[in-house]
Chains A and B, each alone.
Chain A
Amino acid sequence: MAATAGKLPKAQPTIVRLFHWINIISLFGTIASGLQIYNANPVFGGREGIHIPWLFTLGGWLAGGRNWHFALMWIYGLNLLAYGIYIFWTKRWRDRFVDDRDLKALQASSNPKRKAYAWHRLVYTSIIPILLLAIASGLSMYQPVQFYWLSTLFGDWQTLRTVHFMTVPLVLLYTLVHSTLALGIGDGKIATSFLNLKSSDR
């Protein structure tokens, strides 16, 4: 629902804050270990291509990167699945994501706070397709034969690799915009309601 003036956002349920934190940690772990794998044969330019600086990688070498990547993928994927079940089970999907009222507010609202909130909802909704794309393209590369039907949707191998890699800059861009918008709403109270794990206080 739209936040109206004077109404403070409630603290998110503990399980939602856990989904959010597990997603952040496992997602950045898969990114860093993915960049380690990337360095074995860069998507752009092959072995002579541009390598990722070691500080942004995880695992130390190819086998180490793969160990992390294919361990964290389960945590990342199962966390997202659990969140999906939760949001349908509790019917939160109805008002949790961007909707017509937000789009109307973006076009017509004269209230800058309502507009900022609509932007915030539009942006955070966009992470769902990004996260699903990372899984679909990743599974297509991990098991291209057993998931042949999925893998062929991406065209050839280079396209598939490029799509999977592009989820990294997409997530980084998303993180920048999403955190900026979230911190800007209600003096950061929305952000706190998602990030604070200590108590249910605002």
Chain B
Amino acid sequence: MNEETPAATGRISRRQLLQWAGAGLLVNAAGTLLYDPIGRLSMPVNEAFQSLILSSKPTPEFPISAIEPDRSIVNSFRGTPAIDLANFKLNITGEVTNPLSLKMTEIQQMPVTSMTIRQVCVEGWAAIVQWGGVRLQDLLVLAQPRSSAKYVYFKSADGYYESWDLASVVHPQTLLAYQMNGRDLPAENGAPLRLASPIKLGYKQSKWVTEIVVTSQLLPKRGYWEDLGYEWFGGL
């Protein structure tokens, strides 16, 4: 081996450094250009995997003393909408035999479920939160989904929209919450009603829910963030 080569001396030449930087730029650009086709290949696999391992049993909860109110970050795409509580109604329509239109007073008369679970954001942070509200399971028992029901859409007062697989909706810890950390749900966190569940990422948990539509198939619009590129299943 020639003593003068960079490999022998352990030094890196300017040419080598430029080559590495060029390769880095190229890989970086390819990473941005190709993320969509890569997602089209991998997301169906990952979603099938998550759907397969989804347990219908409740996940272990934290003691209420473990809540971390300081760790919660408020995310919304258009700010907090103004909602007229006096005229507020939750509508449940679509593939159901008994469409419902419920006032908050009616919802609050239903059995309340409290859970202390970890809220995980797609961004990477998490917070332990106590939620209180009505199980989606119980609401769907009243609305009676038809046998064709496979998906559930959630529409919000601010225009946000989401869709979930039915199995995740009827999970015993999927709630329409109106309490948070032992108090009434604050407006910025989704009052009067929001989704709360330990089994989905935060962007799946719509705030200010006004309408639930049961469907037999997924529509071209699957969710605000999903339509911009996020994974649809978003399971945890």
Residues of A near any B CB (own CB < 8 A): 32-33, 37-38, 40-41, 43, 46-47, 54-68, 70-71, 74, 143-146, 148, 157, 161, 183, 187-188
Q: Which residues of A contact B165 (CB under 8 A)?
A: none
Q: How far is the CA of A57 from the CA of B43 in the complex (A)?
A: 20
Pair B236/A146 contact, Cβ less than 8 Å:
yes
In whole angstroms, how far apart are the Cα atoms of A37 and B55 in the complex?
27
Q: B47-70 CB contact bits vs A (8 Å, 1 = yes)? A: 000100111000110000000000
Report chain B residues within 8 Å CB of A66: 122, 230-231
Of B11-19, B22-30, B178-186, B212-220, which binds chain A?
Answer: B22-30
- For B200, the closest partner residue in chain A by CB is A145
Q: Which residues of B contact A59 (CB under 8 A)?
A: 31-32, 35
B41 engages A46 (CB within 8 Å): no
Spell out B's residues near A (CB within 8 Å).
Answer: 1, 7, 24-25, 27-28, 31-32, 35-36, 38-39, 41-43, 45-46, 50, 53-55, 59-60, 73, 118, 120-126, 198-199, 225, 228-231, 235-236
Q: A144 contacts B230, CB within 8 Å?
A: no
Q: How many residue pairs at the A-B interface have CB separations less than 8 Å?
A: 102
Q: Identify 29 residue pairs between A and B in the complex whose beta-carbon atoms are under 8 Å apart, listed by A's number.
A: A37-B124, A40-B123, A41-B121, A41-B123, A55-B28, A56-B24, A57-B31, A60-B31, A60-B35, A64-B35, A67-B36, A68-B31, A70-B42, A70-B46, A71-B38, A71-B39, A71-B41, A143-B50, A143-B235, A143-B236, A144-B120, A145-B55, A145-B198, A146-B54, A146-B235, A148-B59, A157-B120, A157-B126, A161-B124
A55 contact from B25, B118, B121, B225, Cβ within 8 A: B25
| Chain A contact residues: helix, strand, loop or mixed | helix
Minimum CB–CB distance from B206 to chain A (whole Å) comes to 18
Q: Given that A41-B125, A57-B28, A59-B32 are known contacts, is A67 also in contact with B59, CB under 8 Å in the complex?
A: no
A60 touches B32 (CB 8 A): yes
A146 and B53 contact, CB distance less than 8 A: yes
Taking A63-B39, A71-B38 as contacts, is the C-beta distance between A144 and B32 under 8 angstroms?
no
Is B60's CB under 8 angstroms from A148's CB?
Answer: yes
- Alpha-carbon gap, A46 to B36, bound state (A): 27
The answer to whether A144 and B236 touch (CB under 8 A), given A40-B122, A41-B125, is: yes
Q: Known A-B contacts: A59-B31, A63-B225, A74-B42. Give 10 more (CB < 8 A).
A: A54-B28, A60-B32, A63-B35, A63-B39, A64-B31, A64-B39, A144-B120, A144-B236, A145-B55, A157-B125
Q: Please tell me if the beta carbons of B35 and A67 are within 8 angstroms of each other in the complex.
A: yes
Q: Which residues of B contact A71 (CB under 8 A)?
A: 38-39, 41-42
Chain A residues near B120: list those with CB within 8 A: 144, 157
Among A74, A143, A146, residue most surrounded by chain B Cβ atoms (within 10 Å): A146
Docked complex Cα distance between A61 and B35 (Å): 9
Measured CB to CB, the closest approach of chain B to A82, in angstroms, equals 17
**B residues within 8 A CB of A61?**
229
CA distance A68 to B34 in the complex (A): 9
Complex Cα–Cα for A154 and B119 (A):
17
* B229–A63 CB distance below 8 A: yes
Bound complex: CA A60 to CA B125 (Å): 20
Q: Complex formed: what's the CA distance from A187 to B25 in Å?
A: 32
A190 to B84, CA, bound (A): 73
Residues of A within 8 A of B53 (CB): 143, 146
Q: How far is the CA of A187 from the CA of B38 in the complex (A)?
A: 40
Q: How far is the CA of A46 from the CA of B125 in the complex (A)?
A: 8
- Residues of A close to B73: CB separation below 8 A: 47
Q: Min CB distance, A114 to chain B, in Å?
A: 22
| A144-B118 contact in complex given A41-B124, A43-B124, A70-B46, C-beta closer than 8 Å | yes
* Residues in B neighbouring A64, C-beta threshold 8 A: 31-32, 35-36, 39, 229
Q: Which residues on the A side are within 8 Å of B27 (C-beta)? A: 32, 58
How far apart are the CA atoms of A56 and B230 in the complex, in Å? Answer: 22
